[in-house]
Structure 1
Amino acid sequence: MDKTKTIAALFDFDGVVMDTESQYTIYWNGVGRKYHPKIENFGLLIKGQTLSQIYDRFFKGMDAEQAEITKGLDKFESEMEYEYVPGVVEFMKELRNNGVKIAIVTSSNEKKMSNVYSSHPELKGLVDRILTAEMFTRSKPAPDCFLLGAKVFDTVPENSVVFEDSFHGLQAGKSAGMLVVGLSTTNSKEAIKDKCDVVIPDFSNFTFSDLISLLNK
């Protein structure tokens, strides 16, 4: 850890700040059954990807289908329940009290996040920055989004801690050269333990001191 630089905590959103992944799985599994019935667990397959990535990979040239999916997704997101992952609010407040800079770094777009702000207007006050899909060209598993997170706080990867749940997000954090804390909210501990530095079920028993201990290892 570089003691001359700020410590940055970079949080993915879905499955890390808000417990939404099970809801998205329902929606995207339905999309998979309709358009790609031969692909099993479609909802799990696309986790951590932006809508553009999903379309480029699975719906390229299918303009009508993309429009239909986008319309359905917009409606679905407007009706979603946004509930905090246990302990995350308290943890963020503790980090800020100790001078840690906090950013939400998400593959979600601004339109989706506006739904979140309507449900939780206090969210913006819990963090210093919110970086959305519109702000970086390459999405997870590329490290660009997390490197941008370090850049906006004028810090370095070795002082940055990523909190992620998806395989693409965990890979992005590692590719950025950052310490990665995996949350077993979406995938099991066994499935992600070799892709991050430590696994936690939520933030109920994770503190600022734990974060500093990891950075000092």
Structure 2
Amino acid sequence: MIAPTPLHAAIFDMDGTLVDNMRYHSEAWVALSQRLGLEATAERFEREFAGKKNEEILPILLGRHVPADELARLAEEKETHYRKLYAPHLALMRGAEAFIARLRGTGVRLAIATAAPTGNRTMVLDGLGIRSLFARVVGAEEVTRGKPAPDIFLAAAKALEVEPSTCVVFEDAVNGIIAARAAGMVAVGITTTTPPEVLREAGAQWVAPDFATLPPDLEARLLITSS
């Protein structure tokens, strides 16, 4: 039997993965949609738009081209509302702190790859004091296409100076799982917003509700790196 490729790097999505915040994003998107006279549901934002950049979401939502100044204004309205909603609840996903410490202890290189704009990243990463735990934070502004395109994960692997095939990605959204697999990476689905069977169908090799309950065979695969 051919041994699996050692995993040298772990790449984390942020929203819905490192923090359980997607309900607040959805609430902010629904509020903006209603103000604009549009019908929208939280489920649509969680399933269809998670992982996409605001400049990709807003034209789809509005059904037309959105000039840059309008796009910036609407995006800031939504993100400001989201931060106000989520700030009182800011917390790492269960088990994430211990898991990240374990990975760092085994020499696994760590990165974050997120479509979250700068203000949102600042609130989470600096608010929780975890930015320094990651060798690189790759944002949507560094790539042309958002998820499900693989660009942001490939950029993270390049920044970490590792081959994509040696990376494991932790994601909560279908678009993110598809992006990870398209990048040639191992994909783990965190089931904060999406049922496990849906994440598996998208290509997740493993699924778990949080980082405290990761499957034993995934844990064993990660231990290959430290041996």
Instruction: Say whether the fold is shared (TM-score over 0.5).
Output: yes
Q: Aligned pair 1:57/2:60, yes or no?
A: yes
Q: What is the rounded CA distance, in whole Å, between the counterparts of 2:65 and 2:121 in structure 1?
A: 27
Q: Which runs of 5+ in 1 are unaligned?
A: none
Q: Among 41, 47, 51, which residue is 1:48 paired with?
A: 51
Q: Compute the displacement of 1:148 (Å).
A: 1.3
| Range 159-168 or range 70-79, more displaced | 70-79
Percent identity over the alignment is 28
Aligned pairs for 1:70-109 (under 5 A) are 70-79=75-84, 80-81=86-87, 82-109=90-117
Q: What is the rounded CA distance, in whole Å, between the counterparts of 1:100 and 1:185 in structure 2?
A: 24
SS at match of 2:91: coil
Aligned pairs for 1:115-134 (under 5 A) are 115-120=123-128, 122-134=129-141
Q: Aligned pair 1:66/2:68, yes or no?
A: no
Q: What is the rounded CA distance, in whole Å, between the counterparts of 2:126 and 2:112 in structure 1?
A: 17
Q: Compute the displacement of 1:183 (Å).
A: 0.8
Q: What is the rounded CA distance, in whole Å, between the counterparts of 2:103 and 2:217 in structure 1?
A: 10
SS at match of 1:66: helix
Counterpart for residue 32 of structure 1:
33
CA distances 1:4-58 after superposition (whole Å, capped 9, x unpaired): xx70100000011011111111111223334463454442232211111112323
Q: What is the rounded CA distance, in whole Å, between the counterparts of 2:199 and 2:75 in structure 1?
A: 30
- TM-score normalised per structure 1: 0.86
CA distances 1:139-166 after superposition (whole Å, capped 9, x unpaired): 1111111111111122112210011111
Counterpart for residue 193 of structure 2:
186
- Are 1:16 and 1:183, in contact at CA under 8 Å, matched by a contact in 2? yes
Q: What is the rounded CA distance, in whole Å, between the counterparts of 2:25 and 2:79 in structure 1?
A: 12
Letter in 2 for 1:61: H
Q: Which runs of 5+ in 2 are unaligned?
A: none
Change in CA separation of 1:165 and 1:102 when aligned onto 2, cut-off 3 Å:
same
CA distances 1:90-139 after superposition (whole Å, capped 9, x unpaired): 1001000000000010011223212224422x211221111111111121
* CA RMSD between the two structures: 2.5
- Are 1:27 and 1:43, in contact at CA under 8 Å, matched by a contact in 2? no
